[in-house]
Structure 1
């Protein structure tokens, strides 16, 4: 008892000391920080209106007026974006019996946007020519050299192959442009023709970008297929687009020993070489021509073929979706779609010539492709990496050597929420295993930083002393993370912002809208929102009666999101019925029905609150948003991944949970099951009950309703990866595939 009291007294003294030190520090530094940081400017920028109402459609199909409230005026009507520049505007619809509201950005085009317009850049070919003339001798694309592969014995006696890594080797802008031209001409020498599709099926790397621009220069549509897709999905994309030539990599070539049997029209395989190994060409279909990437470049270098540049309305990419709701669909993206998104990304992202980007997300996803293209436009070098070599502790990095991030020291990167969730949980895990004093210091520092950040201040001393070691995980220089692909939970957003000392810009878009719809403002310090409308498109909110979402809802309009503008794709490849169902023309624009449900705040910023396909109506009539519940429960330290399932004939939902192994083992010790293996714990009913209780408590803290919290769980020992076909390359759940695989477990949970 005395020991407990002493510990409590020590804790109180330590906390009191920290508060006194912080108070003295604030007194001494506050005037300096006020002068240097000018927080009022940041607060003013954060409060500014990001979107305003341009039209309101009533139930009588008439265009309603739009009121813009101003501090000194009321009922002032506007109809042009040029008049919406005052930070005190608040967009409000006049008509209350409305069925849709349309919003437009208040942001002005930036210098890069204007430069692209001035230079009449309307295709990806003109973009590459423009930047190669602007930055001819600047570093462009970098690949880290692999010097060798060594055996490394682990603590358990097992031996693994590890890379002996060198430095990054760089190609300049003029070299990349020349190599792209040579690759395109080399394809022509191999029989490829303009307007005839060619597939790129490869991991993210410099050769991927060079090959893509080579195709663009010859007016050859690029078909992208995720490197993580299964054989049947690969064959589907190849057969539907009727390609005869596939560009792939050394690592993925073995897949074609089976895929070629399902793709009779393929005649040529071009592979990007491995740095250490030679390709063994046996075991492939006998009539297949196999040629290296380097040999194609050599053919193009001596070719007399001329470039065959596309027009702005030509197809640039047929990009296959990740297939989260069924068979992957080929989205037809025109050059004008890509350039439109490029312009708006240039407006929204604060990327400068002095920056350095690390590229690792799939280039087969339009989000990564466009962000990297923004970097090219801004003269920012891109160094390529992978999950196997990114950080010092990555699986292929030799002990005592540096990962890619430590060598490259990037300042900006892209990410998806699942990766950020895992970083967040790693931080939580490290803190939980530290001493009580370190936990106290960390929590005090975190709360201290959060308080001053909300006021518009930076905390350089805290950043250096407390969060500096965490920043070193990604090289120590990261300042900007652009997140897309799925909603990012507010808790993860805030924690990564604080602990990595970065700004996370969250965006919203779909492949069908060329990854563009909304982007968070750089000065917006709120969490859980995806930003205002982008500069080249409009956002329309329409009533969704089945889900009980209406634009007349209070306090904010809610409904299905429609996106209209030059970024909206031409439709789905060879799927006219599906194209007509999801796309339409109105008001001189092309529109896409996203199926996502959003609400628009007074400052014109959008929050994604639901998805039509994720909504389940339970037996008692309550609606459960599966995505919303998953997003909240995924922040629980116990959860590595989760899929919530509900049936309309049942009164509750259930969940399949991929648990975090170390946290589950800790919980097992607490409940007396510490002697069991991880796999045994995942099959133990007592463990399932304990996890379910933890999720229920976490859900209550996250303000989930009782009917939203799963009443039964099944623990899944295997981690869901894109290779298994249960999540997409962007780590979104493939619900149908998951439900099919675990059908017996779902039935058991409901039966119990």
Structure 2
């Protein structure tokens, strides 16, 4: 079984039920399934076949869903890419990923007109409208012969596609990780990886045909891909697609469609919490919320749950694991600050430098095993061997497990700060500062120091403009060991974030290094 064949079955069972709602327009499961087959047939008429790599540079839209599942139906490999990446970043992924065709937004045409000369392997650019009205493909462009509109490719397709035999080991998707150093690596996820994680997430969280899920996380990101797209579609639920995150729109959609599930990153929950017009009545239909992408501060979780009277289940995942490995259970006690317990069919454990499991409470590296773990990195055998050992995926995250099997992320292994020989985990300091009533956002990094090696440096977004560095350092001194207290605190209007809203410590660290 894979996600494409499952869509056939779901469409047969829930023929007229909405698969998704976009711009307040409904598309049924039968309509989606037929569109997927027709577009896949149209792609095949262009010469795209099983095993070919095709990139998706799209926002949250029906085009993304139809394009993705059409590639699955052909047995091709999808490579979702953030459409806001710089030209050099996109060129690298398209070249390294051996991409033969690109399904993309019309807004990107000027960029591809400039970089097409370094992309000789790409034979087709399939253009999707960024607005309701489809713009004609410009004929005067040098790449116009390679360009086809999504509508035209769709119109060329039929419902009589001869579907290939797909085995679970075939590569379904390649997700390029952002990478803290060097070039991004392409994590190869098989059809079996994607299907198993969508199935197991749905089972663990009880996602079913009665659920209506806000899909506002970027579809090109693996968190959204599994939790807000594949799992609900596999279960017969309805996606309510929001192209870009807006607290006002989230509350409107939640009220209008009686949303039952909302998934977001901590920054989104923070914005919703601080939105003055949001109230518990807006979210009264929610069964629970899901947080992932980065650690949620405990103070934020408690304040959100108290204001909106809804449970937030924090989980954990990474691209290499399709991505989910843990969630706080819905039917058992949750533990604030924890990423929960292992989901169905997935095993997590904490090990030392020798790969030996450590006792509960002790910090080590989190490793993962299960049918969701990637095949490896595309064309990178050495990196694959360093990450996959004896069937285990080494995550690079430091964690601990308690006596009841709940896991806690301490920090990224690479983000740990060593102050005068003492280990300091940035998240620990961030938790203390985030509990301060006058702080909206915080990020902690290690900065070079000639005496101690490194010191703690903080960046905060304050709710009160009169808040001072001295006041916050005194606040930390009362709550932290001396070596964990920040050496300096910088006030900012906003912290750098990626497109999912995750705070980028790396960008702050690079800025500090350039100053020193």
User: TM > 0.5 between the two?
Assistant: yes
Q: CA deviation at 1:135?
A: 1.0
* Structure 1 CA distance for aligned equivalents of residues 117 and 301 of structure 2: 46
In structure 2, the residue matched to 1:408 is: 257
- Aligned partners of 1:200 and 1:224 also within 8 Å: yes
Q: CA deviation at 1:699?
A: 3.3
Inter-CA distance 187–659: structure 2 relative to 1 (3 Å threshold): same
Q: CA deviation at 1:298?
A: 0.6
Q: CA deviation at 1:582?
A: 0.7
Kindly provide the CA deviation profile for residues 89-111 of structure 1, in whole angstroms up to 9, marking residues without a partner as x: xxxxxxxxxxxxxxxxxxxxxxx
- Aligned partners of 1:218 and 1:309 also within 8 Å: no
In structure 2, the residue matched to 1:655 is: 457
In structure 2, the residue matched to 1:696 is: 473
In structure 1, the residue matched to 2:502 is: 731
Alignment of 1:569 onto 2:374:
yes
* Structure 1 CA distance for aligned equivalents of residues 74 and 502 of structure 2: 33
Inter-CA distance 390–610: structure 2 relative to 1 (3 Å threshold): closer
* Structure 2 CA distance for aligned equivalents of residues 738 and 255 of structure 1: 28
Alignment of 1:743 onto 2:513:
yes
* Structure 2 CA distance for aligned equivalents of residues 471 and 290 of structure 1: 48
The more displaced of 276-285 and 380-389 is 276-285
The structure 2 residue matched to 1:140, chosen from 15, 19, 40, is 19
Task: State the TM-score, normalizing by the size of structure 2.
Answer: 0.91
* Structure 1 CA distance for aligned equivalents of residues 177 and 487 of structure 2: 33
Inter-CA distance 228–635: structure 2 relative to 1 (3 Å threshold): farther
Q: How does 1:679-694 map to 2 (within 5 A)?
A: 691-694=468-471
Inter-CA distance 527–310: structure 2 relative to 1 (3 Å threshold): same
* Structure 1 CA distance for aligned equivalents of residues 474 and 112 of structure 2: 48
* Structure 1 CA distance for aligned equivalents of residues 67 and 4 of structure 2: 13
Alignment of 1:329 onto 2:329:
no
Q: CA deviation at 1:140?
A: 0.6
- Aligned partners of 2:283 and 2:308 also within 8 Å: no
* Structure 2 CA distance for aligned equivalents of residues 179 and 194 of structure 1: 19
Kindly provide the CA deviation profile for residues 512-556 of structure 1, in whole angstroms up to 9, marking residues without a partner as x: 11112111111323211111112212122212489xx9824xx62
Alignment of 1:128 onto 2:17:
no
The structure 2 residue matched to 1:264, chosen from 120, 145, 149, is 120
* Structure 2 CA distance for aligned equivalents of residues 271 and 533 of structure 1: 41
* Structure 2 CA distance for aligned equivalents of residues 692 and 241 of structure 1: 47
In structure 1, the residue matched to 2:385 is: 580
In structure 2, the residue matched to 1:499 is: 307
In structure 1, the residue matched to 2:426 is: 626
Inter-CA distance 373–700: structure 2 relative to 1 (3 Å threshold): farther
Which structure's CA Rg is the greater one? Answer: 1
* Structure 1 CA distance for aligned equivalents of residues 333 and 109 of structure 2: 45
- Aligned partners of 2:22 and 2:240 also within 8 Å: yes
In structure 2, the residue matched to 1:450 is: none
* Structure 2 CA distance for aligned equivalents of residues 407 and 260 of structure 1: 44
Q: How does 1:45-84 map to 2 (within 5 A)?
A: none
- Aligned partners of 2:137 and 2:149 also within 8 Å: no
The structure 2 residue matched to 1:290, chosen from 142, 147, 153, is 147
Alignment of 1:377 onto 2:377:
no
Inter-CA distance 184–697: structure 2 relative to 1 (3 Å threshold): farther
Kindly provide the CA deviation profile for residues 640-676 of structure 1, in whole angstroms up to 9, marking residues without a partner as x: 343422336443524352524xx243x1xxxxxxxxx
In structure 2, the residue matched to 1:110 is: none
Q: How does 1:180-329 map to 2 (within 5 A)?
A: 180-273=36-129, 274-276=131-133, 278-279=135-136, 281=138, 284-286=141-143, 288-301=145-158, 305-329=161-185
Inter-CA distance 639–282: structure 2 relative to 1 (3 Å threshold): farther
Total equivalences in the alignment:
511
- Aligned partners of 2:497 and 2:503 also within 8 Å: no
Task: State the TM-score, normalizing by the size of structure 1.
Answer: 0.63
Instruction: Report the secondary structure of 2:324's partner residue.
Output: coil
The more displaced of 339-348 and 692-701 is 692-701
Q: CA deviation at 1:238?
A: 0.5
In structure 2, the residue matched to 1:536 is: 345
Alignment of 1:712 onto 2:460:
no
* Structure 2 CA distance for aligned equivalents of residues 173 and 518 of structure 1: 29
Inter-CA distance 279–404: structure 2 relative to 1 (3 Å threshold): farther
Kindly provide the CA deviation profile for residues 424-451 of structure 1, in whole angstroms up to 9, marking residues without a partner as x: 4x16xx5xxxxxxxxxxxxxxxxxxxxx
Q: CA deviation at 1:709?
A: 2.5
Inter-CA distance 329–694: structure 2 relative to 1 (3 Å threshold): farther
- Aligned partners of 1:556 and 1:599 also within 8 Å: yes
* Structure 2 CA distance for aligned equivalents of residues 598 and 388 of structure 1: 30
Instruction: Report the secondary structure of 1:647's partner residue.
Output: strand
